[in-house]
Structure 1
Amino acid sequence: MKKFFILLLLVFLQPYYSQDKAEKALQTFNEKYPQEKIHLLFDKSSYIAGENLWFKSFVFEGYNRSNISTSLFVELYDRNKTLISKNLFPLLKGEGSGSVFLPENLKEDIYYIRAYTTWMSNFSEDFQLVRPITVYNPSSPDKLVKDTISSWTASVHPESGTFINGIKTKFAVRLHSPKGATPSDWNGYVIDTTKPDIHLADFKGFDQNVGSFSITPENGKKYQLIVSDKKGYKQSIDLPEAVAVGINLQVTSNTDVVKYTLKANNLSENSQYYKILGTINNQLVYKAKINKISDDISYSIPTDKLINGILQLTVFDDNENVVANRICFIQADLLNIKQPSLQSLSLNTSPRGKNSFEIAINPNYANYSVVVMDATTNNPEEENSLLSTLWLTGDIPSKIYMPAQYFTKKRNAEALDALMISEKWTRFNWSNLISGRLPTIRYTPESYISYKGKVLIQGKPASNADLNLIFTTPHHGTNFYSVKTDVNGFFTFGNLVFEDSIKFSYQLNDKKIPKETVQVFFQPNFEFVPYKNSLPVNEFILAKRLPDEKLPTEISRLATIKSNQKIINEKITDIEEVVIKGTKKAKTQKLNEKLSSSLFKSINEQIFDFVNDNQNAQSSFGILQWLQGQVAGLEIRSQGGDYIPYMRGGTVDIYLDEMKIDARQATSISMQDIAMVKIIKGSFAGSFGGGNGAIAIYTRRGGITGSISNSSANSSLKQITLNGYNKEAPFNNPLYDDINFKDIPQDMRNVLYWNPYLETQPNAPSAVQFFNNDDSKSYKVIIIAFDDNETPLYYNEALK
């Protein structure tokens, strides 16, 4: 892949000097509206409630890693589009990594990971990443089962979108299913509706997505396609009615050239010429003008200067109306992919055996993303790989079954071309571009995390004031920043990269102004954008789990992995667990007695203690957002920019120090000021008859000390807490050469090694070392990297 691949092939069949509206509009769109797409490499393909989901993120601008965005938004939804969690992670040259916690109380179901950037929010949500994930929960009353009775349909697509009398036309047949259960073994034939017993064309489907056939229509005849699968399900589809006038664009993509032919019927004499534009990634790479269309002339576009990707060829008349359009893939049989050289391979498939290999020295790569898994487990790259995202699904948002298959060693280029016939390029619309209807930019990407603030002195704006900001980090010590306010007291503080939260001390650089009179308010310059589209339908349904039903092997294995992972991560004794929990419980009980009155006590209450246990609350943007997923039956819904709590289908009352407030007031409460939150389900004395329960928030007051308040108690300056990126959970594997790991009862791990950033050394190979589980006999290894020319290195092979 080349960093810059613009190649303007001006194929003039006569002198042609002007640049028309289409070209100018395309240039504007390409320069001002670059397009991003996302691929997430997950650590595995299915999870169990209470686990972490790890991912490596790749954000591309076209076919190169993007430098546009420095932050990635990752959200978790249930099938009802209820937002469960939202997370923010940093990007460096389009790459990042992170983890999303799957709460213990998640019911067994299909959930959805949504990933997007601020810049992507300006364009169609169709191009954001929305990926279903399977989450099991043995204690859930319902279980996931595949929908085996889902029906499928077919559609037909003539090449270049035109079907003209007397012109032999290639058709793509596309299968569709709302839940993905399309047949793998299917075929079809075409008939003249007046002679249903005569097959004009027969074909067999290439895969579960597409098949193709060709037919020459005759004037006045109607044609029908009959498609059937091996189970006997049959469907009839009418072909579009052939027209008497038009142009058919026929394209063949070979290794060295893309050849195209224009075939026409009964064209008007008024059109002086036709123009053909070829675009890749919204950039013009080919342009030709043809005065007279002839069936005998074939035109060639050399591919040696182009890159792998989708080429869109569009035919315009002399009034710049689109008359034919076709997309194809460049060099489907010659993918520009680098392979790593593995050496010093040492495999030990005995239980808990030590394994290792090295990636040979290559100065073109700064780091590798490496995953090693039990080869019998489901491969997270099997359905949609980095290559299929980069070259196909990142730009073609329609549902494609197993898109990764088109970029494997066993790929079928003919099937991919038929898929291209059935699709259109929707990153832009020629009519909109030419008429000047361009996207509206509402969201501008910031450089990493940015906050805007306002300084007040005795309630009035501090104009043109110097504000000192002081904060301390473990790795960089104490840092000082000075910002200057504008005439209205506003300032911007940006380019911040930190995890969780940081406490900032602040003071004006004017000792004459008492610090008690100064107030500083911060607001993030970034925002999570609500998702408007419907979530994709999945191929699973929920069925009741029977009492004492035996768990499937996969779920049982995941439960064992989760149990053992807890041992690996905690490394503490059961006695220490009991002591810590008992101490915390006693302190929390004492805090509850101190803060809440008898009116706000209930046998059906759940308490969150922020004095004796910070609950990771300081990384949240507000108490209502933090409560998402924390309490069974409590839902926090986003409505009109506010977060509204619901329980049992009704809204939940919110109290601050036992005084009723609204949701907006609750959002403005600083997490640092909260001592305790109590969730009360059902009626209680202080509710005056309300039956939906309450969220009772209690603030810190004199005499209350604890883990959070003590951290700032000794500061002589005013402080404020700013939230940063979500912290990635550590991915821990047992090291069986350490005696502390010998007591793990049963090792069923399906992911044996996970490293999203395996750094390279200039004069040494990159070493990978991992320990086997108890039963694996072969390993699947995934390695991903990019060089300075943006050529992907991609390895997805089994080691035996």
Structure 2
Amino acid sequence: MRITLIMICSALFFQANSQTINNKKLIENCLENYFQYDRENIHVQFNKNRYVNSEDIGFKGYITSKNNMILAENTTNVQLIVYDAQRKIIQKKLLFASKGTFAGGIHLEDKFKAGKYYFHFFTNWMHNFIEDDSFVQTIEIIDKKETYNFDSEEPNWKTAEIKLFPEGGSIISDIINAVGVKITDCNRRGIQINDGIIVDSKSNEISHFHTNQSGNGVFYINPDLNETYTLKVISEKLTISKPLPSIQETGIVVSYKNNLSGENLLVNVKTNDKGVALYQNKTYNLLVQQNKNAILKEITFNNKQTDQIVYFDKKYLSNGVNSIRIIDENLNEITERLIYNYGSINPVTALEAKAVANDSIILSGKIDLNQANLSVSVLPADNKCAEQKRSIMGTFYLNAYLEIPEINNYSYYDPENKNRKEEMELLMLNQNRSKYLWNNIKLYPPKMSYTFDKGVTISGKVEKVIKPNSKFKVSLFSPKDNVFEETTIDEKSNFKFENFYAKDSTVFILQMMDEKNLSITTKMTTRVFSNTSPRYLVLPFEKFICPPINKTNDNFTFSAPKLEESVIKLNEITIQNNFKKLTLVSKADMSMNAQGFKIQEGQHGSVLDFIGRNGYRTGIDVENNEAYIRSSYSSNSDNAPAVYIDDIQQTDFNFLFDLEISDVDEIYIDKSGLSDTSSRSNGTIKIFLKKGVKNKYFKTKYTSMIVTNGFSPNIEYKSSYFETQKEFYYFGTLNWTPTITIKDTPYFVVKFPRGNQNEIKVQIEGFTSDGQLISEIKKIPVL
């Protein structure tokens, strides 16, 4: 059936006469065919968009089903690629999504120098479609060692550019035309002007206009076919002009009246007197559509009227951007116009912040919804790091359908912006078309070549020869993460764990078992890989390079740590030492060259890292994903020391990567090797565990592996320390809570240190179980 529909839609493109064909049904079939496979859309909330280089970056992602506008649960794998300003890949991460959401973060480190970075999120399923539904977030990193210059709010007047958007695609003579105007600088910053005019060839003023803060405006003109017109802006900061496009003799224009406070939509399909004669006896389909949700009505100019009026009930329109298209008898698109439907009222959160004991703030919220998933960022009220105002509504209702995304879109959804609907009308006028091109819908339905990614695959091979009809299996487990899985071994000695959630840096133990569940010692080779061939969506960088954004005279210099001011001179002190020296129990079993360490309470980290800080080089070999210990003067793996755990020699150092130093009682490091004659002078390391720590994994021969191509573990987000209160007010974060679950009660609470705040800035994003979106940015006094 699908092939038949493709052939019909393609054949219509070449037919000269299709009047006998039911175009309405064919249009519906083409829409059904193009949108039958659900698309995924991603929105990611960052706790802010500017960071100093000692901070943590935190983010929360939401994945939606585009056809149903609910959280998408088919995908678990989300790819993140981080690019620097030179468009070089800095980092790749595989993020784990559950029930349509994911959370993550990055501890900033040396590879992130000062500058701008682009975080690109996408899924494997997105490769199936021509349209780009990935998500890109731009962030800036600041070096505390350098003076920082704040960006100016002023646009770059020298790079100002005017774009014109006639509502029918062209300006037609002898009727009133609405023409959209957009004035921006090279960095797409809107330019607001109050004194734009349209003049004819004799410098007579024909019309005038103004633009808003986004640079959007409109003027109206009833042009003469034999006249030329010019748009001019002459002001103190900007002098610019642009000739209007040539006036067309006739054509078809779509305009509408969107009753912003009511339920009716009036669509006017109009032409001039010459068009009425030209389009007689021709039938057109007026299509109002978002995805496969469509309303179709036939129109003709047989009544010899220049205006064909059609009414729609807006309750049948989808929320967000809808396309209004005129389709002719040959299934060609004559013109397209975008309209935005705000739909139902969005939920509003009641927020209150109170100072409580122990210098803390409790942020309490109430939202009249029973089930929702929220993320909350709390910043000082004067924070300078959240200037990019994005909304989850702007991602899923607006940018999901625009050819050119509108990044700073929160103002179109801000309840405190009384002009938001009028501003949205101007934004819709100043769009050439939607991202869903009619020609693609008609001729190029998507081909499903990529799957929903679910987890990774751990595969391997046992060295032991497997006899036919044997019932051997491999068990895989992680003592720390309480993971236990089993799989069979095939006749070629191969095994596989599919759709598996494996975090990076996890150590898994693998053991071959017979049909009686008895372990069999054998070597295994293993690897971790994605279930699909790796392919990355290309980040849609701008093709042109703009001059840097202007800076203000407001510079900021971070304070150096004032250690000298923290030193207090004392005249006379008496020190009483109550320290009890810890005795090394196994010191006598080592040579005099051995250095002994008694592990005390409060020490953290892995044993492998501890060894790396005390005389050896340690790490993970990228070729075989195995931990190594090497002499500091050599990279040869044969120079590894002899390592013992509770006097049992170890050849598998992966266990040391997973073994916490807090589980260890004593460690002895003898680089001379005299503590053990089998060490071949490469050194000896002996580790003794604390009483009660299980050591069975070190007594039995297992195969172990360290996951390096799995999911990135989520970070434990921590707010960064700043030297002064002003630094914290400008750049700090009070709280980042990526996951708040609302269930059975409309209330939620977030508690965090006060930091002398009398007012805080809160950004809440969220998604309800029935597809409602939550997006608010508020300044709240601390009571």
Report the TM-score, using the length of structure 2 for normalisation.
0.73
Q: CA deviation at 1:218?
A: 1.8
Match of 1:159 among 167, 177, 200: 167
Question: Is the 8 Å Cα contact of residues 185 and 230 (structure 1) preserved in structure 2?
Answer: no
Quote the residue 1:716 is aligned against. 701
Quote the residue 1:227 is aligned against. 233
Letter in 2 for 1:766: F
Partner-residue secondary structure (3-state), 1:414: helix
State the alpha-carbon separation in 1 of the partners of residues 54 and 75 from structure 2: 31
Letter in 2 for 1:328: I
Alpha-carbon distance change, 755 to 326 in structure 1, aligned in 2, over 3 angstroms = same
Unaligned 5+ residue runs, structure 2?
Answer: 1-18, 563-592, 595-605, 614-618, 646-652, 660-696
Quote the residue 1:782 is aligned against. 763
Quote the residue 1:375 is aligned against. 381
Quote the residue 1:276 is aligned against. 286
Match of 2:216 among 210, 214, 226: 210
- Give runs of aligned pairs for residues 515-554 of structure 1, distance below 5 A: 515-516=521-522, 519-525=525-531, 529-530=535-536, 532-533=538-539, 535-536=541-542, 541=548, 552-553=555-556
Quote the residue 1:503 is aligned against. 508
- Give runs of aligned pairs for residues 308-327 of structure 1, distance below 5 A: 308-327=319-338
Q: CA deviation at 1:481?
A: 1.9
Q: CA deviation at 1:224?
A: 1.9
Letter in 2 for 1:556: F
Deviation by residue 1:406-427 (Cα, 9 ceiling, x = unmatched): 2213143233222212224444
Quote the residue 2:101 is aligned against. 95
Letter in 2 for 1:728: N
Is residue 339 of structure 2 the alignment partner of residue 328 of structure 1?
Answer: yes
Deviation by residue 1:462-492 (Cα, 9 ceiling, x = unmatched): 99975323212535x3513224648895745
Identity of aligned residues (%): 17
- Give runs of aligned pairs for residues 538-577 of structure 1, distance below 5 A: 541=548, 552-553=555-556, 556=558
Question: Is the 8 Å Cα contact of residues 74 and 114 (structure 1) preserved in structure 2?
Answer: yes
Match of 1:61 among 57, 62, 65: 65
Quote the residue 1:565 is aligned against. none
Question: Is the 8 Å Cα contact of residues 108 and 140 (structure 1) preserved in structure 2?
Answer: no
Is residue 229 of structure 2 the alignment partner of residue 247 of structure 1?
Answer: no
Letter in 2 for 1:779: I
Quote the residue 2:348 is aligned against. 339
State the alpha-carbon separation in 2 of the partners of residues 721 and 125 from structure 1: 38
Q: CA deviation at 1:56?
A: 1.4
State the alpha-carbon separation in 2 of the partners of residues 225 and 261 from structure 1: 26
Alpha-carbon distance change, 440 to 50 in structure 1, aligned in 2, over 3 angstroms = farther
Q: CA deviation at 1:201?
A: 0.8
Question: Is the 8 Å Cα contact of residues 456 and 518 (structure 1) preserved in structure 2?
Answer: yes
Question: Is the 8 Å Cα contact of residues 503 and 721 (structure 1) preserved in structure 2?
Answer: yes
Alpha-carbon distance change, 465 to 452 in structure 1, aligned in 2, over 3 angstroms = farther
State the alpha-carbon separation in 1 of the partners of residues 463 and 64 from structure 2: 45
State the alpha-carbon separation in 1 of the partners of residues 420 and 483 from structure 2: 59
Partner-residue secondary structure (3-state), 1:208: coil
Quote the residue 2:35 is aligned against. 30
Letter in 1 for 2:295: Y
Comparing 781-790 with 107-116, which one deviates more in the overlay?
Answer: 781-790
Alpha-carbon distance change, 247 to 715 in structure 1, aligned in 2, over 3 angstroms = farther
State the alpha-carbon separation in 2 of the partners of residues 26 and 337 from structure 1: 29
Is residue 642 of structure 2 the alignment partner of residue 703 of structure 1?
Answer: yes
- Give runs of aligned pairs for residues 285-300 of structure 1, distance below 5 A: 285-292=294-301, 294-300=305-311
Partner-residue secondary structure (3-state), 1:328: strand
Is residue 734 of structure 2 the alignment partner of residue 728 of structure 1?
Answer: no
Question: Is the 8 Å Cα contact of residues 610 and 676 (structure 1) preserved in structure 2?
Answer: no
Deviation by residue 1:93-116 (Cα, 9 ceiling, x = unmatched): 322211022223533211221111
Quote the residue 1:416 is aligned against. 424
Letter in 2 for 1:416: M
Letter in 1 for 2:144: P
Is residue 365 of structure 2 the alignment partner of residue 359 of structure 1?
Answer: yes
State the alpha-carbon separation in 2 of the partners of residues 677 and 29 from structure 1: 61
State the alpha-carbon separation in 1 of the partners of residues 768 and 429 from structure 2: 32
Is residue 197 of structure 2 the alignment partner of residue 258 of structure 1?
Answer: no
Letter in 2 for 1:721: I
Question: Is the 8 Å Cα contact of residues 630 and 641 (structure 2) preserved in structure 1?
Answer: no
Letter in 1 for 2:170: T
Q: CA deviation at 1:21?
A: 3.3
Quote the residue 2:477 is aligned against. 471
State the alpha-carbon separation in 1 of the partners of residues 132 and 397 from structure 2: 16
Is residue 59 of structure 2 the alignment partner of residue 50 of structure 1?
Answer: no
Quote the residue 2:728 is aligned against. 748
State the alpha-carbon separation in 1 of the partners of residues 242 and 727 from structure 2: 53
- Give runs of aligned pairs for residues 82-121 of structure 1, distance below 5 A: 82-121=88-127
Question: Is the 8 Å Cα contact of residues 37 and 395 (structure 1) preserved in structure 2?
Answer: no
Q: CA deviation at 1:18?
A: 6.3
Alpha-carbon distance change, 400 to 486 in structure 1, aligned in 2, over 3 angstroms = farther
Partner-residue secondary structure (3-state), 2:29: helix
Q: CA deviation at 1:291?
A: 3.1
Alpha-carbon distance change, 452 to 402 in structure 1, aligned in 2, over 3 angstroms = same
- Give runs of aligned pairs for residues 647-726 of structure 1, distance below 5 A: 669-675=623-629, 698=637, 701=640, 703-704=642-643, 708-710=654-656, 713-723=698-708, 724-726=710-712
Quote the residue 2:436 is aligned against. 428
Letter in 2 for 1:160: G
Letter in 2 for 1:404: Y
Match of 1:771 among 739, 753, 759: 753
Deviation by residue 1:640-679 (Cα, 9 ceiling, x = unmatched): xxxxxxxxxxxxxxxxxxxxxxxxxx85x1231433599x
Question: Is the 8 Å Cα contact of residues 261 and 295 (structure 1) preserved in structure 2?
Answer: no
State the alpha-carbon separation in 2 of the partners of residues 764 and 244 from structure 1: 60
Partner-residue secondary structure (3-state), 1:304: helix
Q: CA deviation at 1:172?
A: 0.7
State the alpha-carbon separation in 2 of the partners of residues 127 and 150 from structure 1: 33
Alpha-carbon distance change, 269 to 784 in structure 1, aligned in 2, over 3 angstroms = closer
State the alpha-carbon separation in 1 of the partners of residues 337 and 611 from structure 2: 58
Alpha-carbon distance change, 510 to 401 in structure 1, aligned in 2, over 3 angstroms = closer
State the alpha-carbon separation in 2 of the partners of residues 794 and 524 from structure 1: 34
CA RMSD, 1 decimal: 4.3
Deviation by residue 1:396-451 (Cα, 9 ceiling, x = unmatched): 2525463222221314323322221222444432212222x23444432222x121
Partner-residue secondary structure (3-state), 2:33: helix
Question: Is the 8 Å Cα contact of residues 372 and 754 (structure 1) preserved in structure 2?
Answer: yes
Alignment length, in residue pairs?
A: 653
Q: CA deviation at 1:760?
A: 3.9
Letter in 2 for 1:246: G
Partner-residue secondary structure (3-state), 2:306: coil
Quote the residue 1:637 is aligned against. none
Alpha-carbon distance change, 514 to 762 in structure 1, aligned in 2, over 3 angstroms = closer
State the alpha-carbon separation in 2 of the partners of residues 466 and 240 from structure 1: 77
Letter in 2 for 1:278: V
